[in-house]
Amino acid sequence: MPYGDARHLLSETMPDTALAPAGKREITKAQNRQAILDAAREVFGEAGFETVTVRDIIRRTGLASGTFYNYFRSKDEVASALSRDGARRFSPILKAQRERARTWAEFVRGALGAYYDFLASEHDSWLARRTAAESGEALMGETPEMAAVFEEVRRSIIDEAERGGARGVDADYLAAACIGLAREIGWKMLARRPVDTAAATDFAATLILRGTAGLSEASR
């Protein structure tokens, strides 16, 4: 990994003031951690989460066996780190969709399309081989990254209510429902061949938009 890439990795977890004196040791640590994550993503996708061992991940990195445990205690911790990384990378995409959308319907379709495209771009990753229950265990935990995704969806619902739509709808419940529904359909989409992001987007958007309309109508 180039020096500049390693500094970029450090910048995600360290304040700007800490970057200037960052030495070779810090850069090496960032490189090693990323190497483990990249290797885990590959082997989880190739063999499935349940069959992969920590040793399989280490072999793919080329690092010494003890190095792994300097960063992670188990493959489950690696899986959680991969989930947080995905949420972190998707959050700004979702935010851009919210800022661009003029209506709730535009946001829902745009956000779902972006999410399913995001999943499809990594369809060979470990998520494609895990069951919904296994993936949910890693992904449903409350993390700052997942909280940011939740807040973008919640904020869009509040914006729609202020525009006159989604009146009387509980923003917290609806945000949770939208995220859960999108995730479940996404896992099923990844399990199919060919992966059809358009069909997944249309199906999920129809359910969410009609459901929101029904909730608004029932609250009047």
| Residue 191 pLDDT > 80 | no
Domain 76-218 falls in which CATH fold?
Tetracycline Repressor; domain 2 (1.10.357)
Confidence bin at 113 (pLDDT 50/70/90): very high
Question: To which H or E segment does residue 97 belong?
Answer: helix 75-100
CATH top-level class for 3-68?
Answer: mainly alpha
| Residue 130 pLDDT > 80 | no
pTM of the model: 0.67
Q: What is the arithmetic mean of pLDDT over 18-25? A: 62
User: Angle of helix 75-100 relative to helix 144-163, nearest 10 degrees?
Assistant: 20
Backbone angles phi, psi at 28, to 5 degrees: -65, -40
**Lowest-confidence region among 37-41, 65-69, 139-143:** 139-143
Is 76-218 in the same CATH topology as 3-68?
Answer: no
Q: Does the bond joining 194 to the residue before it have cis omega, within 30 degrees of 0? A: yes
Q: pLDDT tens digit string along 47-62?
A: 777 888 999 999 999 8
- Which span out of 15-24, 134-143, 165-174 was modeled with the highest average pLDDT? 165-174
Q: Check residue 22 and give its pLDDT.
A: 57
User: Are the C-beta atoms of residues 36 and 68 closer than 8 Å to each other?
Assistant: yes
| Residue 73 pLDDT > 50 | yes
pLDDT greater at residue 123 or residue 113: 113
Residue spans of the domains in the chain: they are 3-68, 76-218
- How many angstroms from the chain centroid is the CA of residue 90? 6
